[in-house]
Amino acid sequence: MFDERDASEGSRAPRDGRMTGFPPSEDTRVSLATWQDPENVRWAFRHLREIIPSQVIPADPATTRALPSAADPEALRAEVQRLDGSRATAADVFADTWTDALLVVHDGTLVHEQYYAGLAPTMPHLVMSVSKSIVGCVAGILADRGLLDPDRPVTHYVPEVAGSGYGDASVRDVLDMRTGVAFRETYDDQDAEVRVMERSMGWQPLDEGDPDGMYEYLTTLGTSGEHGGRFTYRSADTDMLGWICERAADRRMADLVSQLLWVPMGAEHDAEVTCDRVGTAIHDGGISATARDLARFGRLLLDDGAAGGREIVPASWLDDALQPSEDVREAFAVTDNESVLPGGWYRNQFWFVPTQNGTALVCLGIHGQMIYVNRATRMVGVKLSSWPTAQNAPYLIDTLRAFGAIGTRLASGSDVQACA
């Protein structure tokens, strides 16, 4: 039922125009040093395995779960008040925000599927920090099986970081990004730790003296505050969590995601995750997957962690995140995030955003990656994007409002017509 439109119909850019020619002409080449440049993002997010070594996250055709489809042509006509005060349809919002793929699932049925600028249902797309939520679910499954204790110190699993900023942190601190580790997530500052870490994890060329490998880099981080205090978004915390999971389960992350999530939930296609020069998966943002499989993941979160009558992610893990203690909410409220997502919180590697119709569980990645899950309206939204810049508050807020408006419209009982 998908609608694949040319870029001239709203994707804000021509077909990528990168890596063209045999060999590619110099002015269209994309390299390790340039793949995050604005003009290269759209091509790179679909072809990252051609730039950075990647590990396969296998699906199993024998367990693939169908996504029932019934198109609702009215869904994207939902009206949205944008951050700038203007009004538009949800379709307008998605057309104006560099969308690559858009899926809407209502009560288990795929009601809208659209691709832009040459992306197709079988093509994986980088999801950036949506990866964090996937790793968080792996941690929840391991905790439920008794292999991981969130109350244990990080050093119980990874003693190598005893002398670093993680030395006195707990696994819970890492899960909720409330460590006191010195790490700046300032994407436009090339000296910020998030950009320095990219060199060690193989996302940029290594400079002389850089730690060779992400785990080695984590051991070098210092301390900027107390553990268990305010929420501070740190990608390094997820990489620390991934290291903990691998040690707890004695398996690499690509295999954990495949065996604990991808196969049980019924993924249709293999996913992949980039790895550093020593073979470590980039837990904080390295996963690429198809939009349909991300919709399946969102549906899993919608349905209390279950698929096909089987619990995959513990319902208690999701409930704990959806109904946290007041301390979790307060840790978020005292930060700059409160002005962007008022009333929100962060728990177990998920964002939570109050809406007019219940609380939305949101998986977010820079450059416009999003899975939106609202149990009150029984809706899942998936948006894959190629924003030229890492962050854009109007794009983010308008997208959240668009998905919220779609959910309200669908929940109100709009007619749904079956697809041919």
Q: pLDDT digit string (tens) for 377-393?
A: 999 999 999 999 999 99
For residue 187, pLDDT over 90 is answered with: no
Residue 136's closest CA among 352, 358, 419? 352
The separation between CA 326 and the C-alpha centre of its own chain, rounded to angstroms, equals 25
What is the pairing mode between strands 109-116 and 3-5? Answer: parallel
Sign of the CA dihedral with 36 first, then 39, 45, and 47 last: negative
Written as one letter, the residue type at 109 is: T
pLDDT at 3: 54
**Cα R_g (the chain), whole angstroms:** 20
Mean pLDDT on 209-222: 96
How much is the pLDDT for 191?
Answer: 83
Give 40's DSSP letter.
G
pLDDT, position 240: 98
Q: Determine how β-strand 287-289 pairs with β-strand 350-355.
A: unpaired
Residue 129 annotated as catalytic: yes
- When pLDDT is averaged across residues 268-291 and rounded to a whole number, the result is 98
Locate 399 and state its tokens: 């997208």
Give whole-number Cα distances, 198 to 281, 284, 291, in Å. 13, 11, 25
pLDDT value of residue 16: 65
Express each pLDDT in 148-182 by its tens digit: 999 999 999 999 999 999 999 999 999 999 999 99
pLDDT at 14: 39
pLDDT score at 13: 40
Please answer whether residues 116 and 291 qualify as being in contact, where contact means their C-beta atoms are separated by less than 8 angstroms. Answer: no
Side-chain half-sphere exposure of 103, counting CA atoms within 13 A: 29
Contacts of residue 167, Cβ cutoff 8 Å, sequence gap at least 6: 154, 155, 161
Which pair of tokens denotes residue 83? 């951050």
9 has a pLDDT exceeding 60: no
pLDDT tens profile 314-355: 999 999 999 999 999 999 999 999 999 999 999 999 999 999
Q: Judging by beta carbons within 10 Å of its beta carbon (0-12, 13-18, 19+), is residue 82 exposed, middle or buried?
A: middle
Q: How many beta carbons lie within 10 A of that of residue 320, not counting itself?
A: 16
Give CA 384 to chain center in angstroms.
10
Task: For residue 281, list its beta bridge partners.
Answer: 275
Nearest alpha-carbon partner for 235 in 168, 280, 286: 286
* Residues 200/216, Cβ–Cβ less than 8 Å: yes
Q: Give the pLDDT confidence score for residue 1 in this predicted structure.
A: 55
- Exactly one of 8, 54, 69, 129 is catalytic; which is it? 129
